[in-house]
Amino acid sequence: MDTLDTPFSTLIRVASHEQHTEAETSTFMSDLLGGRLTVEAYARYTEQLWFVYRALEGSAGALRGDPVAGPFIRPELFRTAELQRDLAHLRGPDWRDGLHPLPATAAYAARVEECARTWPAGYVAHHYTRYLGDLSGGQIIRDKAERTWGFARKGDGVRFYVFEQITNPSAFKRGYRELLDAVNADDLERQRIIEECRRAFDFNGAVFRELGREFPLSAA
């Protein structure tokens, strides 16, 4: 691909395609989307998401004025409150009791926090990987969860996937890609962002592998 005239949003998508595909087609996610796992597996996955988004959004306030990461801090994307509502539905009011991250999740969240503190451009890579995925493939998970476990359409249990403040997801994603294309970084820094994006997908894949070991299909 000729990188000179290729939009950065395209470069980052193409460069991370392999890792993205590996994460999406993991055994755990395939079994979850295939309706072969219990709602307990879905709840455990939702718990892991909470740790990651707490890291992403807990760092957001300090980055609002940053020339690289600042334009990406969009409150309409924030998911922590929705995850907490889902967990209260899935686990009950004491959902925080016994809540713990898998080792891969802890490493993932720690990397997000490290980037937020020391390298805002790296934070952008994690931001892109998570939120654009939520607005796209995440909707497949929502639909499957509603049909498999009987959650009300866009109701408690799947609130994480419902972006009530984004009325036109397609237009929002176009605008997000325009932000990526205009990101305040030189070519070398953009290549580092791409590498961090690959790393973010690898973190996701590691979480899925650990969930797969915790919820083998034979235990469903």
Give pTM, 2 decimals: 0.93
Would you mind telling me the total number of residues written for the chain in this entry? 220
98: Cα separation from own chain's centroid: 23
DSSP labels for 13-42? HHHTHHHHHHHHT-HHHHHHHTT-S-HHHH
| Tens of pLDDT, residue by residue, the chain (220 residues) | 445 679 999 999 998 777 767 767 789 999 999 999 999 999 999 999 999 999 999 999 999 999 999 999 999 999 999 999 999 999 999 999 989 999 999 999 999 999 999 999 999 999 999 999 899 888 999 999 999 999 999 999 999 999 999 999 999 999 999 999 999 999 999 999 999 999 999 999 999 999 999 999 754 4
Do residues 215 and 44 make contact, with C-beta atoms less than 8 angstroms apart?
A: yes
What confidence score (pLDDT) does residue 21 get?
74
How far is 53 from 160, CA to CA, in rounded Å? 10
**pLDDT confidence of residue 196:** 97
Which position has the token pair 């892991």? 48
Query: Are 169 and 135 contacting, i.e. CB atoms less than 8 angstroms apart?
Result: yes
